[in-house]
Structure 1
Amino acid sequence: MGKNGHPELLLLLLFNAAVQMETRLLLTIYFFSKELTWTDARQFCQTNHIDMITWDIVDPNLLTTWLQNQELTEIWIGLHEDPEQLSAWRWINVKTGEGLTGEDVSGSSYWATQPKTDYSCGSYNSARKKWFGNVCSETLPFACYDDNLVLLTENKTWEEAMGRCREMSSASYKYDLLSVTRPTDFSYVRDRIYRATSEEVWTGLRFLGGEWWWSDGETLDHQEMLPDCPSQWQHCGMLSKNNTANWTSGDCSERRNFICNYVKLQEDHD
């Protein structure tokens, strides 16, 4: 199914304006009015986007308003009963792209009623503002999401990684090594690098003139997160797939994977 139809376009524009975590990290929601089973809907999302939406990706109030305005009542969301623990409902695990997360949301106030035994897939009802359990073979509209991050599993030095990101730029999009300032975004980025073939990936952090800077020219808000006087070679910032520290410093000449982000350039209109 192609990306077409007014419902999808309207939701895309809504979330472009409303779900911007930072100018450097942007999430975009796509709604598809074609009805699919839960499994087929998720497969479509994973093939064409990142995955099906979950509650930490969307603003529920904005989602509800949009669906109500379009007179659309129910859509599939990334919620599923744990096959190994009956009555435990979990969000899909975007990090692995396969299983479910560890968070059990069975007791959430969003539930309308306790789902029946054979109802294993979750949907959202905009009229009642509640989650429902459904038979997974039922067909419903669904929503996927994308972001503006690109993980490259090429091993480059920090300088080479920055050059590789920037060479992807075009007349419409500007690419660079990832710059992200809000601490609340770190866990999202860490989940996005799970496919990296190196333990750490380069980001746009660089130590210059006694301070840590992002590659886009912004200073790091929390300088204390990294050494204020790093050793001679530990002047480049990276993010680990498994280390819970937000950022670590590394030897800029070492080769590892890296993550870029892109922004759409403003078009000139006569």
Structure 2
Amino acid sequence: MKKDKKAMYLIKEKKNWTQAQSYCRSYYTDLASGLDQVDGEEMKALFAGCVMSVWVGLFRDSWRWSDGSDFSFRYWDMQLFNDEQNKKTCAMTLLNRSGKWSSDECDKEKPFFCYDDKLILIKENKTWEEALDYCREYHRGLVSITNPYQQRWAEVRAKNASSPFVWLGLRYSCTLDLWFWVNDKLVCYEKWGREGKAEECGRAVGMQSGGQHEWVSQRENEKYNFFCFK
């Protein structure tokens, strides 16, 4: 399965971990989270000869990523990660030193990495199929939402929509009798309205542009704004 490419940003302004998380969630999507980001080539390209410790989105609650990504691999610098270090609760990556991870007290101020899913709102009314074709032609596809932080970021954008719903890339398959994301992401996060999940042929999901921004099953020939990944 091809992974969605996310833009990475090194923010050199020093903040504590909580402030860094809030900044990333306000201006981007979240702190860098997950191995494909923290060990990815794009992050390494941002090093640019820097030698510093930089916050990433891993914090100690049985070590979880800020954006809800799965955490199953550890790349700790064991020379630094001793018993005393193990008691500290926020993770950082060591730029141009070892590239490995260490931890520190969350109130220390450091630069940090943000990532951006590049989710954009297209304020044109199209059927679901038309929206799908448009996103594939001009961007990378209709948006999938797989965790609450992506949902939150989509909600911020949805408030500017000119239609009551905004199409997502989630569609119902009569043949398979299931909902599926068109980019093959697993349906592991959902935010259905109380009576919004009508499992019928010719249905796709629109997110409410106002209110609780819940997901509601809509007939595919309805015309709404839609979200694309850049």
Shared fold (TM-score, shorter chain, > 0.5): yes
1:166-189 per-position Cα deviation (integer Å, ceiling 9, x unaligned): 899xxxx9468628xxxxxxxx84
Asked if 1:135 corresponds to 2:105, the answer is yes
What secondary structure is seen at the aligned counterpart in 2 of 1:69? coil
- The residue number in structure 1 matching 2:193 is none
- The residue number in structure 2 matching 1:119 is 88
Are the aligned partners of 1:75 and 1:142 in contact in 2 as well (CA < 8 Å)? yes
1:250-269 per-position Cα deviation (integer Å, ceiling 9, x unaligned): 53257633863244xxxxxx
Distance, in Å, in 1 between the alignment partners of 2:41 and 2:141 is 31
Distance, in Å, in 2 between the alignment partners of 1:64 and 1:262 is 20
Asked if 1:261 corresponds to 2:228, the answer is yes
Shift of 1:43: 0.6
Return the letter of the residue paired with 2:58: L
Once the two structures are superposed, the pairs formed by residues 1-270 of structure 1 within 5 Å of their partners are 21=2, 25-58=4-37, 60=39, 62=41, 65-66=44-45, 68-82=47-61, 88-92=62-66, 94-95=67-68, 103=71, 108-112=74-78, 113-114=81-82, 115-116=84-85, 119-126=88-95, 127-150=97-120, 160-162=127-129, 174=138, 178=142, 189-191=145-147, 194=151, 202-203=168-169, 230=175, 238-239=180-181, 240-242=187-189, 250-252=200-202, 256-257=206-207, 260-263=227-230
What secondary structure is seen at the aligned counterpart in 1 of 2:85? coil
Provide the TM-score with structure 2 as the length reference.
0.57
Return the letter of the residue paired with 2:227: C
Distance, in Å, in 1 between the alignment partners of 2:99 and 2:140 is 39
Distance, in Å, in 2 between the alignment partners of 1:74 and 1:253 is 48
Which ranges of structure 2 fall in alignment gaps of 5 or more residues?
156-166, 182-186, 191-198, 208-214, 216-225
Which ranges of structure 1 fall in alignment gaps of 5 or more residues?
1-20, 83-87, 96-100, 180-187, 207-225, 244-248, 264-270
Largest Rg, 1 or 2: 1
Are the aligned partners of 2:171 and 2:205 in contact in 1 as well (CA < 8 Å)? no
Distance, in Å, in 2 between the alignment partners of 1:148 and 1:175 is 10
Structure with higher RCO (Cα < 8 A, 6+ apart): 2
Shift of 1:26: 3.0
Shift of 1:53: 0.2
CA separation of 1:241/1:37 partners in 2, compared to 1, >3 Å: closer, same or farther?
A: same
Identity %: 16
